[in-house]
Amino acid sequence: MFVLLILLLNYGCGNAVPEFSGERAFQYLEKQCAFGPRNPGSKGYENCLAYLIEELQSTADTVWTQPFTYKDPFRGGNYDLQNIISRFNPTSEKQILLGAHWDTRPWSDMEVDEQKQNNPILGANDGASGVAVLLELAKVLNENPSSTGITIILFDGEDLGISGENKSYAQGSQYFAQNLPIPKPDHAIILDMVGDEHPHFPIERFSYRNAPRLVRSLWKLAQKLNLPAFDQTLGYTLYDDHVPLWDYAQIPSVDIIDFDYPHEYENYWHTNEDTPDNCSAKSLDQVGTLLIHHIYGIE
């Protein structure tokens, strides 16, 4: 009976669930940060764009960019932006979208020191962490092909917004959802701020409203896998890349996000403290492990 139980837990239709490496994912986080801030128009942005495309081309079946422009109605200026789209097993009947934003905020507007508020953030957690998980996941998918089709999208222009104006954020997912370049996937999972050294992932409220079955499935799976960062209580209501996917394309979408960074008594979000030393491979590992079991468990 014990041997049978092990087989049932680790195999789906005869295939072992592969292992996710939080340590390798953390190396992807550090690599992105080595380019410096990746705010649109910066040198770090251009260098990181080339790096991300190259990394995904080495693993995915197909990779391309989805260019679009954004005119900032609040601060002025035009931005030439690019979503990065990669697909694995695109002919499969079952399709899942996984996404994260790869751009970083041009301003540190939550800095206490006003002299630092115009500095771009490094975005180790708010930008690099979600991308890092997806790059490691792409490597796993390349080495262990899944019968489920996966589209990994790195959204641009998520962090150009202004407080109180929700639709000034998430420009890349808004454009993607209104100009779908792929058949509509069955559902989507968005990662944002998943690298906090003190991880805590309650259920984001828009996610529960728009995709309750998917939320329950993921958080119950996290409990089964003994991933303690996942909390089955409701948390914040946040406008993130998952919201346009539902609003414009009716794709059931869930946001995995730890908005209290590092915790409710201190804030590194949109400050110069959003650096790799305040992030953790263990947090990335919990998120990646959940996604791996979700993907290979539904085969």
For residue range 62-73, what is the model confidence (pLDDT) as tens digits? 999 999 999 988
Q: Give the tokens for residue 48.
A: 């990181």
pLDDT tens digits, one per residue of 243-256: 999 999 999 999 99
Q: Is residue 190 pLDDT above 60, yes or no?
A: yes
**Which pLDDT value is given to residue 163?**
87
Interval 155-175 mean pLDDT = 95
Q: Given phi > 0 = left and psi -120 to 50 = alpha, else beta, which region is 192? A: beta
Alpha-carbon span 257 to 221, nearest angstrom = 17
pLDDT tens digits, one per residue of 219-233: 999 999 999 999 999
Among all chains, which residue has been given the structure tokens 């990065």?
84
Instruction: Check residues 76 and 116 and name the one with the higher pLDDT.
Output: 116
Helix (H) or strand (E) holding 86: strand 78-88
In this prediction the pTM is: 0.94
Q: Is residue 137 pLDDT above 60, yes or no?
A: yes
Contacts of residue 239, Cβ cutoff 8 Å, sequence gap at least 6: 166, 167, 169, 170, 206
CA distances to 59, 145, 289 from 53, rounded to whole Å, are 10, 20, 24
Q: Which of 209, 154, 148, 161 is nearest to 176 (CA)?
A: 154
Alpha-carbon span 232 to 8, nearest angstrom = 25
Q: What are the helix (H) ranges across the chain?
A: 2-10, 22-34, 43-57, 129-143, 171-178, 205-210, 212-224, 242-249, 281-297
Which domains, from first to last, does the chain contain? 20-297 (3.40.630.10)
**Which pLDDT value is given to residue 283?**
98
Beta bridge partners of 155: 101
Look at 50-59, 148-157, 192-201, 290-299 and tell me which has the smallest mean pLDDT.
290-299
**Which pLDDT value is given to residue 122?**
98
**Which pLDDT value is given to residue 77?**
84
Helix (H) or strand (E) holding 262: strand 262-263
Alpha-carbon span 278 to 106, nearest angstrom = 20
Confidence of residue 2 (pLDDT cuts 50, 70, 90): very low
Number of H helices, E strands in the chain: 9, 12
First to last CA, the chain: 23
**Which pLDDT value is given to residue 258?**
98
Distance of CA 290 to the CA centre of its chain: 13
Peptide bond before residue 262 is cis, with ω within 30 degrees of 0:
yes
pLDDT tens digits, one per residue of 81-111: 999 999 999 999 999 999 999 999 999 999 9
Alpha-carbon span 269 to 259, nearest angstrom = 8
